Structure 1
Amino acid sequence: MSNATLERARPRAGSPPGERRTRRRGGWLLLLAPIIVFDVLLFLAPLGKLVASSFTDNAYGRVLADPLVTRSLINTLTIALTTTVVTVVLGYAIALVLWRSGRVMRVVLFAVVLLPFWTGILVKNFAWAVLLQDNGLINGFLQNIGLIDAPLELLHNRFAVIVGMVHCLLPYAVFPIFSSLTAIDDRLALAARSLGAKETSIFGRITLPLSVPGISAAGLLVFIVSTGFFITPVVMGGPGDMMIANEIDYYARQLTDFSGAAALAVILTVLVSIIAAIYQRVLKAGGQHETL
């Protein structure tokens, strides 16, 4: 190899750190380019068009003046918060059982938890309708054992909506909580027992505090998903249980008011984003307080 060739190769081998970082950054951008193009074309561009459409024809003024919209927003937040609390509590209990189960039982329980993912939401809703209707299995069982004389109103109300949503969203709570539980060192509980701590004390002072990250992630995930439910309030709820997604559908399909539907979608997105940001800020402040 000639000296000229060696001289040309030497700067590449001994390139400065800044140049190497630039090349690495260019390589990462090259790998991310398909994802960026995909997001821009299929998410950001339609979202931008939606936001632009919401500012036409005084859409915000019209929808905010509609009392049904206000009621739908209140219903959405109330049902979503209730669903989140119930789902996280049930999810935590199931995650604890999964955490403490053996391998065979854990596989069985995982299959049961994942069952909602294996069936469509419409199938699940109609299955619950069969169970909760006046002549359904639950009312029939309660009447047969003598607990009630007349059927209970279990369907087409807010209770039924929350039941259907909790059933659909339960896996979203179980897996983040289970992940945080499996990260807890078992030696902490052993050390506490060796010092005479009771199981309730171990749970309250070790297990529960160390699983808070999973609980917070599960709560945020369930709340965000639950605000967009559409078919469950239609199948299982009553006229007074319609959520904002149903109102968007009404504006788009019945009234053919696409700017009003776009305004409602933007309002819901902004509202959920604000609540999520406050939630994260409160959790961060709480974590800093505990650290101090």
Structure 2
Amino acid sequence: MRQITRSLVLLGPLLILLALAYILPFLGILRWSVTLPEPGLGQYRAALSDPLILSVFWRTLRICAVVTVLSVSAGYAVALLWVWGGPVARLLTELCIFIPFWISVLTRAFGWLSILSNRGLVNSWLEGAGLIAEPLALVRNEFGVIVGMTHFLIPFAVFPIASAMRSVDERVLMAARGMGAGRARIFWQVFLPMTLPGVLGAALLVFVFSIGFFVTPAILGGGRSVMVAELIYLRIFQSPDWGLAAAVSVILMIAIAGFLALLLRKMTPGDAR
């Protein structure tokens, strides 16, 4: 009993902070969704029946799914080099992982805009090399949004994957090699299955982060690839339609919570660790 009381005392300030920072604002948004502009569930019916809003939801899920696959795939390669590479490779990999955390998301988005725009580095180089006759449309579309989001989220995918790789017992790999398995077979049939919990954790982390992206899609999408966070912003500050924006926010929160609950239900205790 004393241990429980001590734990509650230690966790009390954190729980109060979380309640003030997250629960109370969410309850306020929930109240807006059923009271503005008039009481009822009309905003939810509007959100779930409006073709424009449904298209934004579908675009958000599609972009987030693609970004998750690309980020986890690239993160796996980076983590493999970080964990199993030589000393120099590990040092360079660590620099590539940690330096991006010192650069704001706004700076990264404008950096990609200068690289991918019609007069950016990529199109200028391709035109100078005679490979293209006119600039490629690399920004103000889903491609630019996916590139910018993937670049930002790769480091977040590296950490859970690297943690799973470090927990792999090298004796298992040596046993597989001793039984005559080649490197490719060891990777696909032994190493990759043992690191799947880290891959699953990375995918979950990246997907949840990507759903709430605002700055990168707004800059690189140029208003042509609107995602849910940008839609909520537009409904609050430009329409304005606070009730509908609140309803969309609540629907998004419920969808994420349902996705997490379903995923955690399918996970084994080992995967959860």
Same fold (TM over 0.5): yes
Q: Distance in 2 between matches of 1:67 and 1:207?
A: 45
Deviation at 1:285, TM superposition (A): 10
Q: What one-letter code is carried by the residue in structure 1 that aligns with 2:7?
A: W
Q: Size of the alignment, in residue pairs?
A: 266
1:179 correspondence with 2:163 = yes
1:188-199 equivalent positions in 2, closer than 5 A:
188-199=172-183
Contact kept in structure 1, 2:140 and 2:224, CA below 8 Å = no
Deviation at 1:286, TM superposition (A): 11
Deviation at 1:224, TM superposition (A): 0.4
TM-score with structure 2 length normalisation?
0.92
1:213–1:179 distance in 2 versus 1, CA, 3 Å: same
Unaligned regions of 5+ residues in structure 2, if any? Answer: none
Aligned-pair RMSD on alpha carbons?
1.8
Deviations 1:230-250 (A, max 9, x none): 111111114441001111011
Q: What one-letter code is carried by the residue in structure 2 that aligns with 1:87?
A: S
1:162 to 125, 137, 146: 146
1:78-117 equivalent positions in 2, closer than 5 A:
78-117=62-101
Q: Which moved more, 1:107-116 or 1:160-169?
A: 107-116
1:42 aligns with 21
Contact kept in structure 2, 1:77 and 1:227, CA below 8 Å = yes
Deviation at 1:55, TM superposition (A): 1.3
% identical equivalent positions:
38
1:232 to 212, 216, 219: 216
2:248 aligns with 264
Contact kept in structure 1, 2:81 and 2:89, CA below 8 Å = no
Q: Distance in 2 between matches of 1:67 and 1:240?
A: 16
Deviations 1:252-291 (A, max 9, x none): 111232222111110111111212222333344997xxxx
Q: Distance in 2 between matches of 1:182 and 1:278?
A: 28
Moved over 6 A (4+): none
Q: Distance in 1 between matches of 2:58 and 2:44?
A: 17
2:12 aligns with 33
1:203 correspondence with 2:182 = no
2:137 to 120, 138, 153: 153
Q: Distance in 2 between matches of 1:255 and 1:133?
A: 29
1:213-232 equivalent positions in 2, closer than 5 A:
213-232=197-216
Deviation at 1:93, TM superposition (A): 1.0
Q: What one-letter code is carried by the residue in structure 2 that aligns with 1:234?
A: A
Deviations 1:50-82 (A, max 9, x none): 212211233212333332211111111111111
Q: Which secondary structure does the structure 1 equivalent of 2:135 belong to?
A: coil
Unaligned regions of 5+ residues in structure 1, if any? Answer: 1-21, 288-292
2:117 aligns with 133
Q: Which secondary structure does the structure 2 equivalent of 1:211 belong to?
A: helix
* Structure showing greater Rg: 1
Q: Distance in 1 between matches of 2:73 and 2:15?
A: 38
Q: What one-letter code is carried by the residue in structure 1 that aligns with 2:226?
A: M
Contact kept in structure 2, 1:158 and 1:238, CA below 8 Å = no
